A and B are shown apart, each in its own frame.
Chain A
Amino acid sequence: MRDILQSLKFITLLFVIAAALLVAGVVQQANAAEPKNPNTFNRLLTPKKPFNLPPAEDGYHDPEGEGVAYLQPPKEAFKDLVKSNVGNHVDWVKSLETGKINPRFDRLDPKAKPIVMDLNIVREVKGSMPNVVYPHKQHTEWLDCSNCHPAIFIPQKGANQISMAAILMGQKCGVCHGKVAFPITAKTCRKCHSQPKGKKKGKAKKTAAKKQE
């Protein structure tokens, strides 16, 4: 009887050891499988950064500064504005168009209206990209003529040499775009490069003519 009991114990022990080895093997296999996955290498597609962080957490404000607690968190201000996927994650032009914001055009007079000029300028670009349509309308909602003319853009057809290199270096359109106005990323190319080549050459003239009528 005692012999049978002892052999039973021995068999159980063997089973336990076998099970433990099996589990260890499976775990090791799972661990080994992870680094072998070739899809894990993706150096340039970095995880999405958090945005519209409260001032104390944004990495620029000193969280110990006495005034930081008084500052409005951007998320709170942007709650009802039109969203975008670049910059502040706010579409400022659409927010203005839809009346979500009504910023003053004059420091003192809340009723002052901007002098809006509805004139599109089409710039035929040299490369394969679609032509650029520059809308005066959206720009004059925010700005005064003197902000751009004549220092940045000479108000004369063909007088302005513009290149993406100059823009990226902060000249021409880059004086605002890429700094405060919508940024220059692959997501925003088509905002300006919007007119297919070989189509509607007279668009600029048409709009200008309409204005004169």
Chain B
Amino acid sequence: MNHATRCGRRFALLLALAGTLWLTGQPVQAEYGDLVLNENAEKEGMPPVIFPHWFHRIRFRCKVCHADLGFQFKAGGSGINMLKIIDGQYCGACHNGEIAWSVENCNICHSGKPGLPTQVIGSRLGKLAPPGPTQGQQK
């Protein structure tokens, strides 16, 4: 390995480190109202679900999910699991390949960082009483 390559590698390493520090130092801001759902996901070996409220409210009024489909006004409060979804309940009422894409696309919902607890992102209550550790971490 010649000197130039070694220098280049060191520089790249430094740059990566600086980038990581810069990223971790940045205040993160996911969308207000989005949900992290991790009641079952990580216990059963999948990453937590991130539900984008904003994406859905552009397409449907609150009533469709919260009155017709039985979604509770509480993150993780509806007792949803994959069996109910493939049987056409909750998310499965639309995510069936007819109204919206089907549940084979696991990673579009199960897209959260490992270890995130169930929460409403940016919520006032979350700021007053931050969400606890996930079930998986408690053990």
Give A contacts to B, CB under 8 Å.
46, 49-53, 55, 58-62, 65-68, 70-72, 74, 77-78, 86-88, 90, 92, 101, 103-108, 114, 141-144, 146-147, 168-170, 174-176, 178-180, 183-184
Contact = CB atoms under 8 A, between A and B. Distances in A.
A60 to B, nearest CB: 4
Contacts of B47: 62, 65
A74 B33 CA distance: 13
Contacts of A146: 67
Contact of B33 (A175, A180, A184): A180
B62 A53 contact: no
Contacts of B110: 65, 67
Given A58-B29, A70-B108, A103 B57 contact: yes
Interface stretch (B1-9, B79-87, B111-119, B130-138): B111-119
Given A169-B128, A178-B123, A59 B63 contact: no
Contacts of B55: 72, 74, 77
Interface centre among B52, B62, B106 (most CB of A within 10 A): B62
Interface centre among B29, B63, B111, B114 (most CB of A within 10 A): B63
Contacts of A92: 57
Given A147-B62, A168-B125, 18 more contacts: A49-B27, A50-B29, A58-B29, A60-B112, A60-B113, A61-B30, A67-B107, A68-B107, A87-B122, A103-B59, A107-B69, A144-B66, A144-B68, A170-B123, A174-B124, A178-B125, A180-B33, A183-B122
Interface centre among A51, A77, A92, A107 (most CB of B within 10 A): A107
Contacts of A68: 107, 111
A143 B63 CA distance: 5
A55 B57 CA distance: 17
Contacts of B105: 67, 70
Contacts of B21: none
B99 A107 contact: yes
A53 B62 CA distance: 24
A144 B68 CA distance: 9
List 7 A-B pairs, minimum CB-CB distance, nearest first: A59-B28, A67-B107, A178-B124, A58-B30, A180-B33, A144-B67, A67-B108
In terms of DSSP, what is the predominant structure of the interface of chain A? loop
Contact of B61 (A55, A67, A108, A141): A141
A61 B62 contact: no
B30 A107 contact: no
A168 B57 CA distance: 23
A62 B111 contact: yes
A183 B124 contact: yes
Nearest to B113: A62
Contacts of B69: 107
Contact of B111 (A65, A74, A87, A184): A65
Contacts of B52: 71, 74
B33 A108 contact: no
Contacts of A169: 125, 128
B125 A62 contact: no
Given A65-B107, A70-B108, A74-B54, A50 B64 contact: no
Contacts of A144: 63, 66-68
